[in-house]
Amino acid sequence: METRERAGLVLSYCSGSLAAEEAAAVARHLETCAGCRAVVEEQRRVWSALEAWEAPAVSTEFDQRLYARIEAAERRAWWRSPGWLRPAFSVGLASVVVAAVLLVRVPSAPTTQVQSRSESVDIEQVERALEDMEMLKQLDATPAAEAARPRS
């Protein structure tokens, strides 16, 4: 009963639609599995209740009453109800359309747009630039160190 396939197998067993070999295998399993056996017993109760149930007879005027109810429901529909509702609905819809057009067409106040610029950074290029700066610092430091050194 853990998978749909097995549940379907048990239901097919209860309905009697399994082949003889499969039915025998399920019967053997039911001897040892209390959980599946309980499901089969419950399913058999459902099947017997369904077989015992009888549908009530349909009256001869059923179709006439059904069509009368459908017609009454159509007459009560909101778009067909009071005569004033249709023009009011049309005016309301037209107002919404006009408002939408005005909102879309009227330019809004000018705004300053900040353009974002995305640049891709090459890590190796940054490393080379830092190495070059370090080398330049060393070159600048060398003449100052020589000038500060006492001459003999």
For 25-74, how does the pLDDT look when each residue is reduced to its tens digit (9 = 90+)? 888 988 888 888 888 888 889 888 888 888 888 888 998 999 999 888 87
Residue 40 within any structural domain of the chain: yes
In which residue are the tokens 């070159």 written? 139
Residue 21 within any structural domain of the chain: yes
- One-character DSSP codes across 48-110: HHHHH--PPPPPTTHHHHHHHHHHHHHHT-TTTSSTTHHHHHHHHHHHHHHHHHHHHHSPPPP
Residue 29 within any structural domain of the chain: yes
Residue 129 within any structural domain of the chain: no
Residue 118 within any structural domain of the chain: no
Q: Assess whether pLDDT exceeds 90 at residue 122.
A: no
Provide the CA 95 distance to its chain's centre, in angstroms. 34
Total residue count of the chain as it appears in this document: 152
Q: For the chain, what is the domain count?
A: 1
What domain range includes position 26? 4-52
Residue 116 within any structural domain of the chain: no
pLDDT averaged over every residue in the chain: 77
pLDDT at 68: 93
- The maximal CA–CA distance of the chain, rounded, in angstroms, is 134
Residue 106 within any structural domain of the chain: no
